[in-house]
A and B are shown apart, each in its own frame.
Chain A
């Protein structure tokens, strides 16, 4: 047979295409009020809090559970995982493409924008679905961390991101293509 045996996609078609992540697209989104991101330890807490509808809670929680397999921290050894997330906090995941250890979900957060009809914008937020997983590290049980190790709220960096540096400027790539309308191949 000269063709692929199967075709599977995990990303395409599942989320709307997001444009630039660094700056708002210009012109800036009209009538989109920024809403504080909310976070809960579990589905029941989300529903009983009442800030967002039960429907949104359920969707966000399901997204977060899914996203931990895709975006969550991964470790080759149980010891490495426990060193960061604490004893008894890690479990093994086995898939057809390999296995790894990952920390337990400590909570989930719900995306950051309210659309003009008052609901939450699906797909807006941290680059995936609008519900994202949260973790607690061993050294800092008081605070949640996102999948990429940021402290929840985004101010500080956690231990996961290996190399973070201060950015002096952006926009130094892309001028050549702007000068030519079409160039794909």
Chain B
């Protein structure tokens, strides 16, 4: 289907400033994916709910058993913080699971992004507007739908949170990433709509007091903060020594560090072997780490984002490797499962969980079997 004329200007005016990356399109509406309602509900929504519940169960086991935390290579000095955030029931906002799904066979979980998922705005807003425009222009039938109640569910989750935020909620990302800034700005927008007073702060600008509280640029003590910044980075930063004394409420909460870790894939498989939506996954032994990757396996560092440092060997022995900065962590091995290929592109489905409910999907297309940060975001419809 042809692109809508003027979509770039529309994107700019709606704050979607990263619609193209390095001259290449990131938002790509020259194609779209078409799902049936049963494909969405049985093929994606139901497995998403089920795996989310397995994830919550995994966290509740891990906070009771130090062996889990050790195997996940989480720093021991933060175990109490992780445990207490779960025991206190600190709420979480959102997460994304990435599935390979060909429309027929069970969707297979590639990984979870449960701490710092991005591509939220384009999934929640811009693909919704695309569909609305296409229906209004008569290019798609009026009954066409989309699996995307992201904004509705986010507003609901933030509305429940609003009475608990006394002064304000801070929103933070690293200073130089325009893409991260937009994701944070979108969530800040929704928080304001939910009646929460908000301010933005760059991660680098966060201060600390003599008592070990965190402060913003105006020296207000930070009480609640959404950070688009991974827990493993927070743990490694100098100011992590004040995490306990700061007594701030974090979004996502510290217990999410258990699930944003690729080791969680190995633990899920250990607890639920043969689950139709899981791929076999194991922690790499030192002997394996020192030897070549056999055919039919993928190797991922415990902490890695956007395909960085992923290495795979297909069943035919083809070897692929994505470079990256995460080589200093242990690895998990996951059984190779080919992404479905449509035309010349491999498609990965990002399935969102808001609060504790499946809330919609975004499709990413890449020319490679490893989906990287350059993968194009493509809209979808449900018919």
Contact = CB atoms under 8 A, between A and B. Distances in A.
Interface of A: 1-5, 7-14, 17-23, 70-71, 74, 97-98, 127, 148, 150, 161-185
Contact of B217 (A22, A71, A165): A22
13 contacts: A3-B148, A7-B151, A71-B197, A127-B199, A150-B218, A172-B206, A172-B237, A172-B242, A174-B203, A176-B234, A177-B233, A185-B305, A185-B306
A20 B205 contact: yes
A98 B195 contact: yes
Contact of A164 (B150, B178, B219, B223): B219
Given A70-B192, A167-B207, A7 B215 contact: no
Contacts, number: 205
Nearest to A13: B15
B175 A174 contact: yes
| Interface residues of chain A: helix, strand, loop or mixed (majority) | loop
A76 to B, nearest CB: 10
A3 B145 CA distance: 7
A173 B237 contact: yes
B134 interface: no
A21 B220 CA distance: 13
B118 A184 contact: yes
Interface of B: 12-15, 17, 37, 40, 96, 113, 115-118, 121, 124-125, 128-129, 131, 145-152, 159, 166-167, 174-175, 177-182, 185-186, 188-189, 192-195, 197, 199-211, 213, 215, 217-221, 223, 228-230, 232-234, 236-239, 242, 260, 305-306, 308, 324-326, 360, 373, 382
A70 B189 CA distance: 11
Contacts of B129: 7
B219 A174 contact: no
The 10 closest A-B CB pairs, nearest first, are A172-B239, A12-B15, A176-B233, A167-B207, A13-B15, A180-B325, A11-B189, A174-B204, A22-B205, A185-B113
A17 B237 contact: no
Nearest to B131: A3
A23 B118 contact: no
B269 to A, nearest CB: 21
Name the residue among B129, B131, B324 with the largest chain A CB count within 10 angstroms.
Answer: B324
B373 A182 contact: yes
Given A71-B197, A173-B239, A181-B325, A7 B128 contact: yes
